[in-house]
Structure 1
Amino acid sequence: MTQHGQPRRPDVTTVEIVGGPEPLHVGLHEHDERWAQVFREHRRRILEALAGLDVDVEHIGSTSVPGLAAKPVVDVVVVVPDLTAEEDHVDALLAAGYELRVREPGHRLVRTPARDVHVHLYGRGDPAVDDYLLLRDHLRTDAADRALYEDVKRSLISRRWEDSNDYADAKGEVIAQIKSRARAARG
């Protein structure tokens, strides 16, 4: 960011999905304690790649919730000072072996070549990060909402999805309901 806290340049205005839509081929797996270790390994790798940047790195998504079935894809959120300064973070992550998958307004996604770790990049202060953490923390402590979410995921995963993004979008309504309850519980 510039000295006045403004991004170096305007953000992108279109959605670029490198490689185009991909069918959803993986199913749900029972929670695997190794997912936490995979996160820790990638957290270390990310912090090494982004040394010198003020970043936050958190484990998000279903693999971050003990007891919740999940696709075996570890999601990581990285908060960077200036999302538009891709030369500071995206380039460094590509050099560390990740591949660019998505570039869209307010969000970048890089992933491992094996597609088993997705790294979501957001600028500091983006409300999407708080939403990820709110959902994660609530599902970790609320057994009823955790069971509801898993039931919806099991129902949806049984369908054929030509675009894995459509599967993610289909969970939107239940996620919104759970986040609403989480906000109310948080006060």
Structure 2
Amino acid sequence: MPLTSQISVYDPRWPDLFLSEQQRIRSVFANALVTIHHVGSTAVPGLAAKPEIDLLVEVSEHRDVGDVTERMKSLGYVRGTDLSQDHHFYRRDVNGVRTHKVHVCPSGHWQIARMLRFRDLLRQDPDLSARYQALKLHLEATNQHGIGEYLASKAPFIDAVLAHKRERD
């Protein structure tokens, strides 16, 4: 079963696509907005990725979730299932192809530190980035049940990297 999109070589346009989308969605979160981070594999120069821009929206608190969902809908986003408590998720597809994912978490949410730490480790360590890329390509090639299987199969690698980093700190 295919993933939401096929993994491709790094595209140097991804940072600009992030900046463009960051500007487009900024006003949706109004006064609750703290910052918007570029996360996921498209945020790591040189790393092959599904060409889906991941944005992590940090808010002071979730406010007017129904209004936020409507404003995101007006920008082409669909609200997905929460990925964990207080971790809201939106996705945008263009012509049936996933182009953007937006994670919305309040300040202090454990996923913010997790996503930023893993992104930064990949940016700092070319060997780690190469190992992660090889894993992702292997998982894509052997995937039989879609994106859920792919994400679940990546999780132990990410968990181990972050646990090892905590031990060294």
1:74 aligned residue: 53
Following TM superposition, by how much is the alpha carbon of 1:88 offset from its aligned partner in structure 2, in angstroms?
A: 5.0
Task: State TM-score, norm by structure 1.
Answer: 0.79
| Contact 1:100–1:111 under 8 Å retained in 2 | yes
Number of the residue aligned with 1:57: 36
> For 1:158, what is the secondary structure of its paired residue?
helix
Q: In structure 2, do the counterparts of structure 1 residues 51 and 140 end up closer, same or farther at CA, with 3 Å as the change threshold?
A: same
User: 1:137 is matched with which residue?
Assistant: 120
Q: Can you list the C-alpha shifts for 1:84-109, whole angstroms capped at 9, x where unaligned?
A: 64135333322333111223532211
For 1:69 and 1:24, the matched residues in 2 are separated by: 14
Count of paired positions: 165
User: SS at 1:69's partner residue?
Assistant: coil
Deviation at 1:80, TM superposition (A): 1.8
Match of 1:12 in 2: none
Q: CA deviation at 1:138?
A: 0.7
Q: Which residue of 2 aligns with 1:122?
A: 105
Once residues 35 and 54 of structure 2 are traced to their aligned partners in structure 1, the CA distance between those partners, rounded to angstroms, is 14
What are structure 2's unaligned runs of at least 5 residues? none
- Offset at 1:34? 0.8
Taking the TM superposition and a 5 Å limit, the aligned residue runs for 1:1-187 are: 23-24=2-3, 26-83=5-62, 85-87=64-66, 89-104=68-83, 105-114=85-94, 115-185=98-168, 187=169
Q: How far 1:23 moved relative to its partner?
A: 4.6
| Alpha-carbon displacement from aligned partner over 1:82-139 (angstroms, at most 9, x marks no partner) | 2364135333322333111223532211121322100011122101110000000110
Percentage identity across aligned positions? 29
Counterpart code for 1:158: A
5+ residue gaps in structure 1? 1-21
* More divergent stretch after superposition (90-99 vs 122-131): 90-99
Give me the CA root mean square deviation.
2.0
Whether contact under 8 Å (2:32, 2:63) holds in the other structure is no
Summarize deviations over 1:160-184 as a string: whole Å, max 9, x none. Answer: 3333122011001111122123334
Residue identity in the other structure for 1:103 = D
* Higher helix proportion: 2
Instruction: After TM superposition, give the deviation of residue 158 of structure 1 in Å.
Output: 0.2
